């Protein structure tokens, strides 16, 4: 924030000359000389001028610093702080809304998108204040009556949009800048889909804020029953789909869900139904399968995945036995070596000593930049938990299975709108 007051201290100036005392009159001065009152008047005028300057600084705080240095300072402030600064005054609203400042502002986790029966919602990480972005995606609804969010990719969303009686469009949009681009039609193999042509495979959005100039979309061409053995890959750099033959092991069954993929280091990671993670690079040339940790506590085939601090995370809750949460980190990517990093007592974390509704407890995200995880009891509480200092903070008093959102203000390549 700008400095509070410039120059002069509380009173604004040093002590002034005063009229001489009666007993100290110069011998040569006239007996009835007038005291130097103009000095007192000048003091009052200077104080009034300084008060006016201070009031102008409070109304227009940017005036107290040159625009160049102030822009450089604000460009290093996280986006959530910029949103708070907008409330200072109109001048700060305009300044903190500048696209140039927002593009350079360091971004981290700002909140979560989540859905319920009423649609898509957004909740700030702090749990307070209006949503940082418009979850209604009103800028898409100007041209499409129906909008369905297919996938989340850090700062971008992949949506399926259509109007009554029209073909479905895949659209990638940026809710922070309200830019969006329509992908070309995805060609579906008739021998796999047959009469199920209305069915669309789940597509996965890959986006890395460190390389904001491009995004990719992966679509395994399967309808859930039949598999073509191919994967379609869209790149914003070429503006086209390519269709590559899968090199995963025969019989690989990808777990198709919006919450079971991670895009990390230019590679898409998808969980399977047989306790492994399959990967594919953006050109469809490098294929791999990574086995899940050997010491998974539950026989369930479903294991959650995420990324934090440049590494792959997996976690699972052992509901039948004391409701323990286990978190692993892929320490060695080349060898596929997992390390159990954390074990958390879920009941103790939520302050409950009984096992009622254990299946409702979920860990739904890990912070991308620090050792903080996010959990919900599925009913009346969603919290963050700092694994380093064991602190719990309540985000909201309702269930929320959110997906992390990191704002991005870079120009969306191939943006048509």
* 50 — pLDDT class (breaks 50, 70, 90): low
Same domain? 100 vs 202: no
Residue 117: inside a domain, yes or no?
A: yes
* Count of other CB atoms within 10 angstroms of residue 365: 22
pLDDT of res. 27: 44
Mean pLDDT of the chain: 79
Q: Is 336 left (phi over 0), alpha (psi -120 to 50) or beta?
A: left
Using the predicted structure, report yes or no on whether residue 406 has a pLDDT greater than 80: yes
Percentage of the chain with pLDDT > 70? 72
Same domain? 146 vs 240: yes
Is the four-CA dihedral 378, 383, 388, 390 of positive or negative sign? negative
Same domain? 139 vs 274: yes
* 30 — pLDDT class (breaks 50, 70, 90): very low
Query: Which domain-ending residue is among 106, 125, 143?
Result: 106
Residue 15: inside a domain, yes or no?
A: no
Question: H or E stretch including 58?
Answer: helix 37-59
DSSP code for 184: P
Same domain? 261 vs 214: yes
Residue 416 in 3-state DSSP?
coil
- Give the whole-angstrom CA distance, residue 137 versus residue 161: 11
Residues 129-153, mean pLDDT to the nearest whole number: 88
Query: Which domain-ending residue is among 41, 75, 106?
Result: 106
- Give the whole-angstrom CA distance, residue 152 versus residue 138: 17
Same domain? 268 vs 410: yes
Considering only residues 132 and 245, tell me which one the structure prediction assigns the higher pLDDT: 245
Considering only residues 251 and 160, tell me which one the structure prediction assigns the higher pLDDT: 160
- Give the whole-angstrom CA distance, residue 144 versus residue 44: 65
Residue 367: inside a domain, yes or no?
A: yes
Using the predicted structure, report yes or no on whether residue 34 has a pLDDT greater than 70: no
Using the predicted structure, report yes or no on whether residue 8 has a pLDDT greater than 50: no
pLDDT of res. 244: 94
Residue 409 in 3-state DSSP?
coil
* Total domains, the chain: 3
Task: Tell me the HSE value of 204 on the side-chain side, using a 13 A CA sphere.
Answer: 27
Residues 373-395, mean pLDDT to the nearest whole number: 92
- Give the whole-angstrom CA distance, residue 218 versus residue 250: 19
pLDDT of res. 137: 93
Residue 229: inside a domain, yes or no?
A: yes
Both tokens of 14, joined, read 């040093």
| Closest to 120 measured CA to CA, from 100, 141, 104 | 141
Residue 389: inside a domain, yes or no?
A: yes
Residue 366: inside a domain, yes or no?
A: yes
Same domain? 216 vs 162: yes
* 137-146, 223-232, 239-248, 286-295: range with lowest mean pLDDT: 223-232
Using the predicted structure, report yes or no on whether residue 357 has a pLDDT greater than 70: no
Both tokens of 268, joined, read 């898409």
CA-only gyration radius of the chain, Å: 30
* 293-302, 338-347, 383-392: range with lowest mean pLDDT: 293-302
Same domain? 412 vs 382: no
Torsion of the alpha carbons at 251, 257, 258 and 260, rounded to the nearest 10: -60
pLDDT of res. 310: 92
Same domain? 240 vs 341: no
- Give the whole-angstrom CA distance, residue 341 versus residue 319: 19
* 45 — pLDDT class (breaks 50, 70, 90): low
Considering only residues 117 and 334, tell me which one the structure prediction assigns the higher pLDDT: 334
Residue 203: inside a domain, yes or no?
A: yes
* 122-126, 221-225, 242-246, 336-340: range with lowest mean pLDDT: 221-225
> What's the predicted TM-score (pTM) here?
0.74
Both tokens of 175, joined, read 């809710």
Same domain? 253 vs 349: no
Note down the domain range covering 69: 53-106
| Closest to 393 measured CA to CA, from 350, 348, 347, 343 | 350
* 89 — pLDDT class (breaks 50, 70, 90): confident
Same domain? 302 vs 284: no
pLDDT of res. 223: 60
Phi then psi for residue 179, to 5 deg, are -95, 150
pLDDT of res. 285: 94
Q: Which residues contact 134 (CB under 8 A, 6 or more apart)?
A: 122, 175
Question: H or E stretch including 286?
Answer: none
- Give the whole-angstrom CA distance, residue 309 versus residue 331: 12
| Closest to 310 measured CA to CA, from 283, 331, 341 | 331
Listed in order, strand segments (DSSP E) in 292-348 are: 304-308, 311-318, 324-332, 337-345
DSSP code for 36: -
Task: Tell me the HSE value of 318 on the side-chain side, using a 13 A CA sphere.
Answer: 13
Same domain? 195 vs 287: yes
Residue 42: inside a domain, yes or no?
A: no
Same domain? 392 vs 409: no
pLDDT of res. 5: 40
Query: Which domain-ending residue is among 87, 106, 125?
Result: 106
């Amino acid at each position: 924030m700008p400095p509070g007051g410039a120059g002069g201290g509380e009173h604004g100036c040093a002590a002034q000359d005063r009229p001489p005392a009666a007993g100290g009159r110069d011998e040569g001065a006239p007996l009835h000389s007038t005291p130097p009152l103009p000095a007192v008047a000048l003091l009052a005028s200077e104080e009034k001028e300084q008060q006016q300057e201070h009031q102008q600084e409070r109304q227009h705080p940017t005036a107290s610093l040159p625009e160049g240095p102030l822009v450089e300072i604000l460009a290093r402030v996280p986006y959530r702080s910029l949103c708070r600064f907008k409330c200072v005054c109109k001048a700060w609203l305009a300044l903190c809304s500048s696209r140039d400042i927002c593009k350079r502002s360091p971004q981290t986790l700002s909140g979560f998108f989540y859905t319920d029966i009423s649609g898509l919602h957004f909740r700030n990480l702090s749990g307070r204040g209006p949503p940082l972005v418009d979850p209604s995606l009103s800028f898409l609804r100007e041209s499409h009556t129906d909008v369905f969010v297919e996938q989340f990719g850090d700062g971008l969303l992949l949506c399926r949009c259509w109007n009554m009686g029209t073909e479905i469009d895949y659209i990638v949009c940026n809710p922070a800048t309200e830019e969006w681009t329509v992908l070309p039609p995805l060609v579906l193999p008739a021998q796999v889909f047959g009469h199920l042509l209305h069915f669309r495979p789940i597509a996965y959005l890959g986006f890395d804020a460190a390389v904001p100039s491009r995004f990719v979309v992966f679509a395994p061409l399967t309808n859930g029953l039949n598999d073509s053995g191919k994967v379609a890959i869209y790149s914003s750099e070429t503006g086209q789909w390519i269709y590559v033959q899968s090199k995963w092991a025969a019989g690989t069954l990808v777990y198709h869900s919006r919450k079971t993929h991670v895009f990390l280091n230019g590679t898409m990671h998808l969980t399977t139904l047989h306790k492994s993670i399959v990967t594919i690079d953006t050109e469809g040339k490098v294929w791999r399968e990574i086995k899940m940790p050997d010491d998974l506590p539950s026989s369930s085939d479903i294991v959650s995945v995420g990324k934090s601090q440049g590494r792959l995370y997996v976690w699972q809750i052992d509901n039948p036995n004391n409701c323990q949460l286990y978190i692993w980190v892929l320490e060695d990517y080349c060898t596929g070596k997992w390390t159990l990093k954390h074990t958390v007592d879920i009941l103790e974390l939520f302050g409950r000593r009984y096992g009622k509704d254990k299946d409702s407890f979920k860990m739904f995200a890990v912070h991308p930049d620090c050792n903080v995880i996010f959990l919900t009891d599925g009913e009346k509480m969603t919290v963050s938990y700092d694994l380093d200092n064991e602190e719990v903070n309540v985000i909201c008093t309702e269930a929320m299975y959110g997906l992390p959102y990191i704002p991005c203000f870079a120009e969306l390549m191939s943006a048509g709108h």
